[in-house]
Structure 1
């Protein structure tokens, strides 16, 4: 990635020099105010919910492209230099932030003077600490091991909480309006539609958890801290906030004992590849595997089946109803 960064910097400096030779070239502010109804905004995004919300809110005024290919892992993905060049020439680049995308900090300075405006969709959202997913498996006497098991930053999985997703959508709407004020009414109307759908999801999640026989879920990846905080679920997580953050042998044994204590029947995988550690837990607890979609990306099957944020989240609710029953 160092070589790519150097080449990208050279490219951007060259582009800046050439644009500087044109005295009629508009600056970023001029480009924003000169947008008209016939202009299509080019927007790059990271995780799928941002892509979906931007398409819904932007409507006919946007062309939205995700930097992630199908099946990409948001925690480790690195864009190609070609992709970075395309982003530099776009109108907006909307990313989650909260430490989710590792390449963002590397590119902020390089893109600072380019055409693109960078937008952090998590701006204004109170993030949970990486140490706040207090599943019972972590309540052991070895505090040092407990700290090692958890991420020391913030939990970035805000889009799974419909209430936080409303704020993300609002940030997207505001960013679109900033660069294309002529379409403000359209953006506002489309945002209200998205907001109402998210409010319906919030009510359905609350109803599902409130009426559940138990609150504990055994998950392969600690993606669901915001469901814990919002609705009262209790996730017993095998890996940490990043799937690569796996437990120690002692913590793994505690996870197995905790799952057995609560008579948990299902182990929940996300759409990421299954880890060997999660398979060990499945075998030792004799649990049945099911899937909750964390929406970081779409799979090839999701694309083929025309899935979107709301169809996937509604399927997640149906899965929760199943795993929270006796």
Structure 2
């Protein structure tokens, strides 16, 4: 009887020990799963390198970020397919410049499956300028000038829209994104200060621009513009008073033409030579230079005006 009782007690001990081990194993497994799922890795798509760099400045290497187009030409002429719609619909976030920068974007976004992908137009909340000329891409006529980001304050607003979207999608790392956003703003503030210094040096100059794409940058920097006539192919026509004025002070070079497209200089070569008008090239987004590189180029280009005197 004593042997039977001993065997029964040993059975109970083994049973409860096994249950205890099983509980510990389950708790350990559960804890490990929580650790693995602590940080979510998002799949983020942008339309171009400009937005790619902006998003990377906020998320760093925490998420997978890709872009659709290597250059401006392919971005403008893009014709989407069912495959491209399905591919973007599988992403977590999709950012686009907006304001007609991607002429096909409205129809594209309408077809996306938004049950998974969050779609963000980074131009939201920005005051846009209208085109002065008719701009068409295929059957789409653009009313808004999409180069708003050449105004640094507008660029900051777009960057804020990116930060907000990422924070909403992955709030666990809100502080991380806020820190990166603040650091990006500090860098931009240094460029704003440089531009302000350059603008002060250019107060006695007057400028001609014929490309709407430069309007945001020129107005942001308070450059004094001369109103000129424009013919076909952006050929400049001057009034009689403007011509007389130029003849009187042709050697002072205080009238400058700012341009981005080389065809502007080519088409106005005769006028520029006749009145000794310097031409200074500014950069807007071309798919190659980063935003900071573009600002650096433009600051140097404007500085060259008064440093050459």
TM-score (norm 2): 0.70
CA distance in 1, matches of 2:52, 2:153: 18
Match of 2:189? Answer: 199
Conserved? CA contact 2:151–2:216, under 8 Å: yes
Matching of residue 254 in structure 1 with residue 237 in structure 2: yes
Match of 1:86? Answer: 87
Provide the secondary structure at the position in 2 that maps to 1:319.
Answer: helix
CA distance in 1, matches of 2:177, 2:227: 39
User: How far apart are residue 311 of structure 1 and its match?
Assistant: 2.9
Match of 1:70? Answer: 71
Provide the secondary structure at the position in 2 that maps to 1:61.
Answer: coil
Match of 1:155? Answer: 145
Residue 269 of structure 2 is aligned with which of 282, 288, 308? 282
CA distance in 1, matches of 2:181, 2:135: 39
Provide the secondary structure at the position in 2 that maps to 1:314.
Answer: helix
Match of 1:117? Answer: 118
Conserved? CA contact 2:120–2:165, under 8 Å: yes
Match of 2:108? Answer: 107
Moved more, 80-89 or 169-178: 80-89
CA distance in 2, matches of 1:297, 1:250: 24
TM-score (norm 1): 0.67
Provide the secondary structure at the position in 2 that maps to 1:118.
Answer: strand
Matching of residue 56 in structure 1 with residue 57 in structure 2: yes
Aligned pair count reads: 258
**Which fold has the larger relative contact order, with Cα–Cα distance below 8 Å and residues 6 or more apart in sequence?**
1
CA distance in 1, matches of 2:280, 2:259: 6
User: How far apart are residue 79 of structure 1 and its match?
Assistant: 4.8
Matches within 5 A, 1:14-25: none
User: How far apart are residue 114 of structure 1 and its match?
Assistant: 4.8
Matches within 5 A, 1:1-326: 37-72=38-73, 76-81=76-81, 82-131=83-132, 153-212=143-202, 214-219=204-209, 221-234=211-224, 248-249=231-232, 252-254=235-237, 261=246, 263=253, 267-270=257-260, 274-275=262-263, 278-286=265-273, 290-298=280-288, 302=289, 308-323=290-305, 326=309
Gaps of 5+ in 1: 1-34, 132-146, 239-246, 303-307
User: How far apart are residue 50 of structure 1 and its match?
Assistant: 2.0
Match of 1:28? Answer: none
Conserved? CA contact 2:49–2:67, under 8 Å: yes
Task: Name which one, 1 or 2, has greater alpha-carbon Rg.
Answer: 2
Provide the secondary structure at the position in 2 that maps to 1:72.
Answer: helix
The CA RMSD measured in Å over matched residues stands at: 3.5
